[in-house]
Amino acid sequence: MDFTLIFFYVLAATAVATALGLLLSRNAVYAALFLVLNLATVAVFYLLLGAPFVAMAQITVYAGAIMVLFLFVIMILGAEKLPKGEVLPWQRPLAIGAAALLLVEAVYLLLQRVRLTSDLSNPGTWENSMDALRQMATLLFTDYLLPFEVTSVLLLVAMIGAIVLTKREKGEPA
Partner 1 sequence: MIPLDHYLLLSAILFTMGALGVLIRRNALIIFMSIELMLNSANLAFVAFARSFEKASGQPLFSGQLFVFFVIAVAAAEVAIGLALIVAIFRIKHNVDVDQMSSLKG
Residues 38-57 that bind partner 1 (CB under 8 A): 38-39, 42, 45-46, 48-51, 53-54, 57
Q: Decide if 32 contacts 69 (C-beta within 8 A).
A: no
Helix, coil or strand: residue 39:
helix
Burial, 58: exposed, middle or buried (Cβ in 10 Å; 0-12, 13-18, 19+)? Answer: buried
For position 58 contacting partner 1 by CB under 8 A, the verdict is yes
**Cβ 143 to partner 1 shortest distance, Å:** 8
x/- contact string, 59-98, with partner 1 (CB under 8 A)?
--xx--xx--xx--xx-xx-x--xx--xx---xx--xx-x
Which of 10, 89, 158, 170 binds partner 1 (CB under 8 A)? It is 158
Quote the DSSP letter at residue 62.
Answer: I
Nearest to 41 by CA among 21, 60, 22, 16: 16
- Contact by Cβ (8 Å): 80, 50: no
Query: Which residue from 10, 145, 149, 151 is in contact with partner 1, where contact means CB under 8 A?
Result: 151
Q: Is 22 in the site for partner 1 (CB under 8 A)?
A: yes
- Binding-residue pattern over the window 100 to 139 for partner 1, x denoting contact by CB under 8 A: x-xx--xx--xx--xxxxxxxxxx--xx----x--xx--x
Q: Which amino acid is at 60?
A: T
Q: Distance between CA 42 and CA 54 in Å, rounded?
A: 10
What number of chain residues touch partner 1 (CB under 8 A)?
A: 86
